[in-house]
Amino acid sequence: MQNDPYVAVIFSNQRTGDDDAGYLAEAARMDALASEQPGYVGIESVRAESGFGITVSYWSDDAAALAWKQQAEHLAAQQRGRSTWYDSYHVRVATVEREYHYARPVYHLALPVDWEAATASGSYPMSTRGLTTEQEGFVHCSFAHQMLGVAQRFYADVDELVILHLDRTALDADLVIEPAAEGIDELFPHLYRELPLDAVATTTVWRRGDTWQQPAGL
């Protein structure tokens, strides 16, 4: 998002339930098309099981928002929405004067030897202990309250770890919060690409005593 005031187009709607496949394909197309338009800032969308949904698109100014409303392919999609996909909808256009942001900190536990190799080579290929991102498919990460359990389960014989403090804004949509594995309810952050070194904001050395203890301050 940007610091100057910008425009939010709030589209709340109730789906009919008809032609779900066509709707999903068109929604994906509209998301991609919107991102190509001048003045596009971003988009957020959520839908309940009842079919009620809210999509908010953000634009640099009112002119950019209006130009998107009148874009030819978007106009055709609006017509199909009225004839097939929506039982009702409501559009509100608002100016955003200020915004606030919070995201839970995310961390990755690295073996010192792996982190030393990464800083020397400029690349960190590891997913978790003994497995690369290519092998695992993603990088295992943790929230603060999960690190102690991870250390106790997988690093009980290790005396020292390096906590990588990750910049979530540098990871974009490749960071997914999901169950650790099939059949496990606890949600962990997984990064679905190799961890870029510029996404590591800072590091902390974490040493084990007789047992692992929660890192101070985290």
Summary mean pLDDT of the chain:
95
Whether 73 and 62 have beta carbons less than 8 Å apart is answered as no
Q: Which CATH superfamily is domain 106-207 in?
A: Protein of unknown function DUF952 (3.20.170.20)
Distances (CA, A) of 138 to 84, 122, 124, 194: 39, 19, 12, 7
pLDDT for residue 1 is more than 70:
no
SS3 state of residue 35: helix
For domain 6-96, is the CATH number 3.40.710.10?
A: no
Which residues face 164 on adjacent strands? 108, 203
pLDDT for residue 33 is more than 60:
yes
Same fold, 6-96 and 106-207: no
**pLDDT, tens digit, 9 for 90 and up, residues 39-70:** 999 999 999 999 999 999 999 999 999 999 99
What residue spans define the domains of the chain? 6-96, 106-207
Residues 6+ apart with CB under 8 A from 69: 9, 75
pLDDT for residue 179 is more than 50:
yes
**pLDDT, tens digit, 9 for 90 and up, residues 86-138:** 999 999 999 999 998 889 999 999 999 999 999 999 999 999 999 999 999 99
